[in-house]
């Protein structure tokens, strides 16, 4: 199976970038209604509809949800690319639809999506509300889970650019987790199924993004939805779509989300999961905070008349301006910056720093500055 060929054929061209709201999804949902069951199962805090898609007639039931955190849209894009495959009428699509029944909530948090925030409109993190169920979105997710009674759950998320694959210097473009079901992080039959499936996904992704797949932390938190569903005995797989070099719009990463979804269901449909894959799973390096967006090294600064060489880092903030996401770089740390890499690194080789306010970088200021060799940086990047 040529995954890249499949992706190029079924990529949904009408959605792209990081800012994805229900406005962009509604036409796609209406199109899907011709080949699937489409329901409005309830409303968000601000009254936006929350949709459920159900497609397929197979015995194995797959439950997927995306944009539980409103500003995490990459897996939503990958999910709609996968829906295009399912409705294609191809022999592979027919096999999947005969094997599985898919139930998906493609945008669980439409208010957070519109506001471009992790939380819902009540400023609650839905992924910490799986026990108290204080929010309508959390209640709808849990009710759908109980009615559908899935055999597998797919918890689809994004993660920030700060995460890398252990301390290898590679970004964590995709990370996965088979959540724990207890404090001891033991492996029972249910969790083992998730582990074995992730081992198979990783084997495939290593062919495309070698060294860029991480394993998310498995500390147990019953308030997290994945841990809750694993605790309830349903194999649950966490997807974390992360950074690929230069891909701040996550249009490259969405391709690997698609690969991971297709691989998951191909392996399950062919009963070709990695048996006893615990070692393969544990050999996936840990997902760690090891990156800045920008790292500037060997900068000469004048601090109260004393010259010294230092380093500093800048990080993008994603800000909505005129309905679009704008990436603005701010200085966030000054010092040795040990054990952190930069997605972009610049060695000033002792050149002196200056900006409009003086001779030293200031925390929380825009990364606009010059070096004495007449190199100007605007919003973190060398001005062209």
At 318, list the tokens.
């994603």
Q: How confident is the model at residue 302 (pLDDT cuts 50, 70, 90)?
A: confident
- pLDDT(75) > 80: yes
Q: How confident is the model at residue 259 (pLDDT cuts 50, 70, 90)?
A: very high
Is residue 356 packed enough to be buried (19+ CB in 10 Å), middle (13-18) or exposed (0-12)? exposed
At CA 296, angle to CA 163 and CA 250, rounded to 5?
Answer: 35
Give the per-residue pLDDT at 273: 83
For every residue of 218-283, which 3-state class applies, written as one string?
Answer: CCCCCCCHHHHHHHCCCCEEEEEECCCCCCCCCCCHHHHHHHHHHHHHHHHHCCCCCCCCHHHHHC
CA distance 109 to 172: 25
CA distance 49 to 39: 10
Give the per-residue pLDDT at 274: 75
* Pairing of β 100-105 and β 60-66: parallel
User: Mean pLDDT throughout 237-261?
Assistant: 98
- pLDDT(201) > 90: yes
Digit-coded pLDDT (tens) for 318-364? 999 988 999 999 999 999 998 899 999 999 999 999 998 888 999 99
Q: Which domains does the chain have, with CATH numbers?
A: 3-289 (3.40.630.10), 291-382 (2.30.40.10)
> Residue 60: in which H helix or E strand, if any?
strand 60-66
User: Mean pLDDT throughout 102-128?
Assistant: 98
- pLDDT(303) > 90: no
Per-residue DSSP letter, 127: G
Mean of all residue pLDDT scores within the chain: 96
Q: Which of 72-81, 124-133, 152-161, 300-309 has the lowest mean pLDDT?
A: 300-309
User: Mean pLDDT throughout 140-159?
Assistant: 98
Q: Are 108 and 126 in contact (CB under 8 A)?
A: yes
* Cα–Cα separations (whole angstroms), residue 30 to 9, 39, 81, 243, 267: 21, 10, 15, 31, 30
- pLDDT(384) > 90: no
Range with top average pLDDT, 26-35, 255-264, 300-309, 353-362 = 255-264
- pLDDT(372) > 90: no
User: Mean pLDDT throughout 210-239?
Assistant: 98
Give the per-residue pLDDT at 359: 80
């Amino acid at each position: 199976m040529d995954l890249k060929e499949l992706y190029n054929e079924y990529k949904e061209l009408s959605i792209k970038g990081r800012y994805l709201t229900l406005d962009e999804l509604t036409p796609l949902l209406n199109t899907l209604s011709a080949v699937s069951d489409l329901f409005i199962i309830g409303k968000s805090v601000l009254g936006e509809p929350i949709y459920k898609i159900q497609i397929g007639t197979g015995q194995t039931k797959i439950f997927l949800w995306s944009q539980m955190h409103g500003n995490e849209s990459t897996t939503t894009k990958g999910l709609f690319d996968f829906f295009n495959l399912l409705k294609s009428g191809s022999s592979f699509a027919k096999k999947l639809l005969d094997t599985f029944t898919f139930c998906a909530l493609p945008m669980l948090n439409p208010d957070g999506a519109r506001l471009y925030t992790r939380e819902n409109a009540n400023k609650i993190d839905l992924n910490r509300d799986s026990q108290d169920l204080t929010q309508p979105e959390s209640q709808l997710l849990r009710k759908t889970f109980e009615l559908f009674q899935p055999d597998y759950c797919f918890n689809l998320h994004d993660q920030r650019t700060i995460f890398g694959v252990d301390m290898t210097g590679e970004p964590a473009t995709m990370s996965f987790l088979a959540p724990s079901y207890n404090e001891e992080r033991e492996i029972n039959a249910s969790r083992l199924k998730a582990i074995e499936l992730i081992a198979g996904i990783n084997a495939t992704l290593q062919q495309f993004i070698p060294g860029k797949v991480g394993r998310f932390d498995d500390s147990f938190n019953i308030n997290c939805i994945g841990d809750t569903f694993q605790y309830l005995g349903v194999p649950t797989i966490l997807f974390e779509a992360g950074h690929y070099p230069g891909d701040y719009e996550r249009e490259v990463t969405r391709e690997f989300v698609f690969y991971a979804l297709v691989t998951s269901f191909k392996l399950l449909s062919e009963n070709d999961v990695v048996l006893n894959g615990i070692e393969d799973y544990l050999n996936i390096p840990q997902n760690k905070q090891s990156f800045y967006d920008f790292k500037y090294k060997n900068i000469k600064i004048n601090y109260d008349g004393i010259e010294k060489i230092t380093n500093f880092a800048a990080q993008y903030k994603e800000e909505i301006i005129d309905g679009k996401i704008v990436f603005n770089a701010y200085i966030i740390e000054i010092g040795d910056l040990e054990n952190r890499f930069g997605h972009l690194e610049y060695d000033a080789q002792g050149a002196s720093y200056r900006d409009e306010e003086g001779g030293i970088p200031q925390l929380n200021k825009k990364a606009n500055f010059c070096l004495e060799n007449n190199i100007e940086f605007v919003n973190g990047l060398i001005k062209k």
